[in-house]
Structure 1
Amino acid sequence: MSAWEKRPMKYVYVILLGACLNGSMPTGSALAQFGGFGAPGAGTGGAGGGLANQFGGIVIDPEGILRDAPLKPMQASQAKRLRQQFAEERLSAELIVETPLRVFSLRNLEADLLRLTSAGEPIPAELLLLGGIHRLEYVLFDAERNDILIAGPAEGFAPAMEGGRLVGLTSGRPPLLLEDLLVALRANAQGQTWLGCSIDPTEENTARLQRYIQANSTPVTPQVAGERYRQMGLVLGNQVVTVWGVPANSHFALTLVHADYRMKRIALGTEPSGVRQVRSHLALLAAQGNSLQRWWFAPCYQPLETNTDHTLFRITGPRAQLLSQEEIADTEGRRSDAAYTRRSTEKFAELFTEHFEALCDVSPEFAALQNLYDMALLAELIQQRRVAAGITWKPSLLLDETRLPLTTYPVPKFVPSAATHRKGARGVMVGLIGGVRIDSRAVANRIEVTSRLQREQFGVSDRGRVWWNAAALR
């Protein structure tokens, strides 16, 4: 029985969703089948060839409106076979090896990039995917080598069955990306340590929605109620995508909005979370009055462990947490914080945060968001610690947008609103507001000195290598 069928509109529960998703990528058309950054520089993201075409994502129309693109179904066994084939054909046998700790040299990375770009040669996979490292765990300022080393678990990678994003063959986590590192380094060099995105309705359309709800509050049949729900999404119209601190046409930006989109879809109940303990916000609903829900991602790290001379850092923690706040809107569509936040809104954020690591295990878009937080943190650590650690080398080509331009992607500008409801629930609640906020400086300033970290455990290789495998630091 519809909520409208037996009670007036004020007792209807509705969530309206604005959503956006990153362009169907094996990370930039599998980074142009590992010829990424154009050849060698600028390029345009989009659907790649070969295996990449087997995976869906979204489309962005000429007006910048994001819409879902259908996924082609594929048997798990077939997907596994194709992923293995992809890795064996495109990656070296050494790169495919799964290891608990791979070390990657930023100085040698830049040297190799300079050589390749000067010769007009494509950038190989091992550089585009930072050696296949899929989680940043250590940063070492190595004065002896005059280098900055990063390290973490690594493995071979191939496009995932869903969405086409490159993921580890065993872990399913997306690897760290050179293009995300470049965005983070360049943003930090320009003083941008506050990065993020948001998807918001316009004040005009929010006011229109308020008026529509007030004018359509009479009890009706289930069929009419369903039409009203659909109409509410149309009334709210396209929502505006805003990205700050990073280029809106970058992979970094698309990953931000993808994670926000996925979170809202889970809250709405239109997609399962993949984690039993994380239910939709609809499932947590309790009867109360009208408001808007706002959930957003914020940093969540344990204090950075460091040695006594502050040259080696260990990074732990889930990287991100979900925060919540109720909002209200006046008749002009202006939003403000409500005096309270209902328990169901808080509970969804708490469950999401508590099980975020598990969500990352099943959702590559959340694991990719973790990587963005880490790339921003790495850039801030370099800014704060490089000189004090005795490192005279500093990034040059990595910061040069002219000599090393980024692959570009269609810019998401608008997202259509959608509506759903839970039968029998009370109160009009519009779940529209969200986003991602990255504050790397605050994270970098929280440190804890420990005697457990020793640089010798990195198993430093010859000075010319970009990456090598080492024993795990435990």
Structure 2
Amino acid sequence: MASRFSKWTWAGAIVLALLSLFSEPTMAQVATTGAGGVFVDAQGVLRARQTADKARSRKLAALRKRRGRDAEVIAFVSLPRLFREVKGRVDAGEAIPEEMAFLDGMTRLQYVFVFPEEKDLVIAGPREPLDSPESGRAIGEQSGRPTLRLDDLVTALRTVGPGKENTNYGCSLDLPPNAIPRIQQAAGRIGAVRRGRGYGRVMQAIAQACGPQEVRFFGIDADTPTAFTMIEADYILKQLNLGLMRSPVSKVKSRFALLRRGESLYSRVWFTPDYDSLIVAPEGDAYELRGQGLRVLASDSPTGRSNSSGPSAEAFAKQFTEHFPEMEAAIPVLADLRNVTDLGVLAALIGTDRLHEKAEWDLRWILDPSGYPVPKTPVPTTAATLANAKLAGRSLLLSVGGVNLSPGRVVEQDRQEAPLADFPVKPSRPSEETQWSMLGE
């Protein structure tokens, strides 16, 4: 069988299928998104479910068509006052209102303002009326972009905020030990893969040979919504990389579409922060995040320790990065990951520049795990392997990767001083003591 197989060329690709389960952590949960879905079987293994929420996809498409027609409204949110309101609700055993849970519909974090005399710390960014939250994700009515989440902000503060030495966190989808020899042995047993026939047999054999794959989180509590956002986004990245999901942006080609003869066995692709700069006013009381927030990197090393990558992996990462704004506009979880990254930078900035001390904001209740109750989410420990195969020059391709966020590095290395007059939005804050948010132009 091995000799018959060697007469033909094919490429297999391994991905992990992990999507978000924003609900109670039961083993029978099923989650779907516009890009597909997953289910957890009786043994607790995550498996892919290739279904599509067509109604939601049509809704997002309609929202994208009208994007830009509505005037942008900026929301200013006082963090000390917001958390006072939240604490009051928690202490009273009351539910957190949607406008608090989703930061008044703020769809992107752009500015941070400190008011030492008023003892206030304010964040600002574009705001839209809330669409109905679905599975823990609320979107703006005008753009379809996900909003910031209170749960993600609290998680960021507890992960890289004041008093935290951790500077790096994320997730990784890796091949299990000894997977490559098992896959190669399976390939030798498959026999010839003829054009247009046999791909299903190849994919099934590779998946079985690889076996369940471990899911790894680092630097962050794995049972948080933030962690699930990272895993979900990474899974989507793998699907796009391997051509298992059609790219919504025609200029972003899969690695399979770009594949060249004789490339490396490995392809590791992952998300990492990407900002043009963190603009800082000379007085240290105003900040602006500039840039798209995320990029994709690639390496031929299975561990990602080498920066070298083959032509197809490098081209995929470059195209994805260049068109990330379009990709996140079409795939909500990518915008969610951008929001998570922005909030990580905010938390690191508060800790590094001691903004909470300037505003005399007591964070003890927020930083205490027994304080604000971040909802628990299911933690996948293994995932079923997916495989894809095609004729491609006598090589077996494996795709791994993850999300690697280092917000402290952004705060320290991407700073650029600029006068307050250069800020597109001027410092402002809610005026009433009982008010925690306000709208500006």
Indicate whether the TM-score tops 0.5: yes
2:121–2:355 Cα contact (<8 Å) kept: no
- The equivalent residue for 2:122 is 149
Asked whether 1:280 is paired with 2:254, we answer yes
Asked whether 1:468 is paired with 2:441, we answer no
Asked whether 1:8 is paired with 2:4, we answer no
Asked whether 1:262 is paired with 2:230, we answer no
- The equivalent residue for 2:102 is 129
Against the structure 1 CA distance between its residues 437 and 13, is the aligned structure 2 distance closer, same or farther, given a 3 Å change threshold? same
- Counterpart code for 1:458: S
Against the structure 1 CA distance between its residues 73 and 164, is the aligned structure 2 distance closer, same or farther, given a 3 Å change threshold? farther
Deviations 1:275-310 (A, max 9, x none): 111111111011114511100111101111111111
Against the structure 1 CA distance between its residues 78 and 208, is the aligned structure 2 distance closer, same or farther, given a 3 Å change threshold? closer
Deviations 1:187-238 (A, max 9, x none): 124322211000112113233113333x348545454564233201211111
1:306–1:453 Cα contact (<8 Å) kept: no
Against the structure 1 CA distance between its residues 165 and 57, is the aligned structure 2 distance closer, same or farther, given a 3 Å change threshold? farther
Against the structure 1 CA distance between its residues 44 and 124, is the aligned structure 2 distance closer, same or farther, given a 3 Å change threshold? farther
Asked whether 1:427 is paired with 2:408, we answer no
After TM superposition, give the deviation of residue 432 of structure 1 in Å.
2.6
- Residue 412 of structure 1, aligned match among 368, 380, 398: 380
Against the structure 1 CA distance between its residues 106 and 261, is the aligned structure 2 distance closer, same or farther, given a 3 Å change threshold? same
Relative to structure 2, which stretch is displaced further, 217-226 or 301-310? 217-226
Between the aligned partners of 2:57 and 2:263, the Cα distance in structure 1 is: 45
**TM-score with structure 2 setting the length:** 0.87
1:450-465 equivalences in 2 (<5 Å): 450-451=418-419, 452-453=422-423, 457-458=427-428, 460-465=430-435
Against the structure 1 CA distance between its residues 285 and 454, is the aligned structure 2 distance closer, same or farther, given a 3 Å change threshold? closer
- The equivalent residue for 2:148 is 176
* Structure 2: gaps of 5 or more residues: 63-69
1:141–1:386 Cα contact (<8 Å) kept: no
Between the aligned partners of 1:18 and 1:278, the Cα distance in structure 2 is: 21
1:8–1:217 Cα contact (<8 Å) kept: no
Counterpart secondary structure, 1:403: coil
Between the aligned partners of 1:146 and 1:388, the Cα distance in structure 2 is: 9
- The equivalent residue for 1:115 is 88
Counterpart secondary structure, 1:21: coil
Between the aligned partners of 2:338 and 2:131, the Cα distance in structure 1 is: 19
Counterpart secondary structure, 2:123: strand
- Residue 59 of structure 1, aligned match among 34, 39, 51: 39
- The equivalent residue for 2:159 is 187
Counterpart secondary structure, 1:252: helix
- Counterpart code for 2:101: L
Relative to structure 2, which stretch is displaced further, 187-196 or 279-288? 187-196
Deviations 1:435-470 (A, max 9, x none): 000001110012111112398542542232111001
**TM-score with structure 1 setting the length:** 0.81
After TM superposition, give the deviation of residue 384 of structure 1 in Å.
1.4
* Structure 1: gaps of 5 or more residues: 29-42, 82-96, 329-334
Against the structure 1 CA distance between its residues 403 and 76, is the aligned structure 2 distance closer, same or farther, given a 3 Å change threshold? closer
After TM superposition, give the deviation of residue 434 of structure 1 in Å.
0.7
Between the aligned partners of 2:415 and 2:61, the Cα distance in structure 1 is: 41
1:103–1:470 Cα contact (<8 Å) kept: yes
- The equivalent residue for 1:90 is none
Between the aligned partners of 1:459 and 1:388, the Cα distance in structure 2 is: 16
Q: How many pairs were matched up?
A: 423
Between the aligned partners of 1:380 and 1:339, the Cα distance in structure 2 is: 26
Identity of aligned residues (%): 27
CA RMSD, Structure 1 to Structure 2 (Å): 3.1
